[in-house]
Structure 1
Amino acid sequence: MDLERNSVGIGQRPALILVDMIKGFTSSACPLGTDCPEVVAANAALLEGFRARNLPIFFTTVVYRNPDQASVFRNRIQALNCLTPDSQWVQVDSSLTPREGEALIEKCWASSFFGTDLAVRLQSSGADSLVVTGLTTSGCVRATVVDGLQHNYPVVVPREAVGDRNPQAHEANLHDMHAKYADVIAMQEVLTTIRGL
């Protein structure tokens, strides 16, 4: 049974974090990826909404520049070794190309916070809440949501803007995040709130 909880919602200056919306995860041509045009389209709609209100936007990618970075993780999931600086797979999906002033944060582990300067950038941006999207629901999205809460931010996850290779894991993790760490809501609700800011 889930615990009783309150909906915290979106603040007055939310930041959008697009977690690993990179070619290596949005294309089934990569061993790490799966074709998910509906998730890409949802992220494009959210990007448009955040840009229209001049709100903070952060992209993440996974890049391994030397053999020592996340060596245990890469030994466990060896397909990660294709995410090298010269690979097309580390590039943001072409439908979501960052604009000037929108940070692209390199990471080596699941959470967008771990081993990065995301927390400092969020503080500098004046963000008071987070909207977390991307891939995958059961992996890097969940890790980022948990760490977002642990950095004391209200976190919202737009249901249509996250995806996973495993449909059961996707649904289970949406349920779990909503029960404990974030408000999992419809993308349209997020867009309506953003337009009203």
Structure 2
Amino acid sequence: MYAAQSLPGPLEVSAAAPLPEGSRTALMVIDMQNDFVETGAPRQVSGAMEIVPAIANAIERMRVQGDLIVWACRAYSLDGSNVEAARKPQFLRNPYAVAGTRGADLVDGLNPWPEDLSLVTPSYSAFFRTDLDLKLREAGVSKIVGCGVDLSRCVRATLVEAVSLGYECSVLGPAVASRNDQALNANLADMADLDITVEE
């Protein structure tokens, strides 16, 4: 049996980060790249090709409203030097989303505009080791709508972190895909429990 130990000294409560200010919404389009979307691609996500029209429609609608479009993508080195440790063995067996290759390009039908925000993400959350939070605050964004792939990984990780940073968040149900319907539905339900609105 281990004896209970008291924590040393009084615990200090760290100050919360200031809430995002502004009234703009950002649509985050996550990992809609050929190697994750096209049929037969190395890391094809089930149903990813089918959600392209829904994402394109959301982009068009939100551009008219003056919202910010954010493109979060992967761009790996062929030697795997910038791949997450957990993914590296699999990546080295069958590389995907390699910078400068067609596999890392956005899928046909989704086209960035010069005024959009684009970033390369080094891990599941688009906020991890990027300046995304700063850029969104500078743009006056207080709400984030997520779409893309894979819902159970990068989309979910990004929106959960966004909630922690004080953003109002939602996920566009018809514009996300995951490895199967069970994973899709389970993650949508979990995200609703985390105060992320599921839009239909």
The structural deviation recorded for 1:62 is: 0.5
User: Runs of at least 4 residues of structure 1 off by over 6 A?
Assistant: none
Distance 1:153 1:71, change over 3 A: closer
Does the residue aligned with 2:118 lie in a helix, a strand or coil?
strand
CA distance in 2, matches of 1:142, 1:100: 27
Q: What is the one-letter code of the residue matched to 1:174?
A: L
* Cα contact 1:157–1:183 (8 A) shared by 2: yes
Match of 1:189 in 2: none
Residues 151-178 of structure 1 show CA distances to partners (whole Å, capped at 9, x for unaligned) of 1101011110110122211110000001
Distance 1:28 1:38, change over 3 A: closer
Could you say which structure has the larger radius of gyration? 2
Where in structure 1 are there 5+ consecutive unaligned residues? 1-10, 187-197
Task: Give TM-score scaled by structure 2 length.
Answer: 0.81
**Per residue, is there more helix in 1 or in 2?**
1
* Cα contact 1:23–1:93 (8 A) shared by 2: yes
Match of 1:88 in 2: 102
CA distance in 1, matches of 2:97, 2:49: 21
CA distance in 1, matches of 2:30, 2:154: 7
Match of 1:40 in 2: 52
Does the residue aligned with 1:93 lie in a helix, a strand or coil?
coil
1:68 to 77, 81, 86: 81
Residue 131 (structure 2) pairs with residue 117 (structure 1)? yes
Does the residue aligned with 2:109 lie in a helix, a strand or coil?
helix
Q: Percent identity?
A: 28
The structural deviation recorded for 1:122 is: 0.5
CA distance in 1, matches of 2:39, 2:186: 23
* Cα contact 2:28–2:145 (8 A) shared by 1: yes
Distance 1:173 1:77, change over 3 A: farther
The structural deviation recorded for 1:12 is: 3.6
The structural deviation recorded for 1:71 is: 4.2
* Cα contact 2:151–2:184 (8 A) shared by 1: yes
Deviates more, 1:109-118 or 1:72-81: 72-81
Residue 112 (structure 2) pairs with residue 98 (structure 1)? yes
The structural deviation recorded for 1:103 is: 1.8
CA distance in 1, matches of 2:34, 2:195: 28
CA distance in 2, matches of 1:127, 1:30: 34
Over the aligned positions, Cα root-mean-square deviation in angstroms equals 1.8
* Cα contact 1:74–1:80 (8 A) shared by 2: no
Residues 59-91 of structure 1 show CA distances to partners (whole Å, capped at 9, x for unaligned) of 011011363313413325426732211211111
CA distance in 1, matches of 2:48, 2:80: 30
Residue 148 (structure 2) pairs with residue 157 (structure 1)? no
CA distance in 2, matches of 1:80, 1:169: 24
Q: What is the one-letter code of the residue matched to 1:59?
A: W
Q: What is the one-letter code of the residue matched to 2:168?
A: P
Number of positions where the alignment pairs a residue of Structure 1 with one of Structure 2: 176
The structural deviation recorded for 1:117 is: 1.4
Where in structure 2 are there 5+ consecutive unaligned residues? 1-21
Residue 42 (structure 2) pairs with residue 27 (structure 1)? no
Match of 1:172 in 2: 186
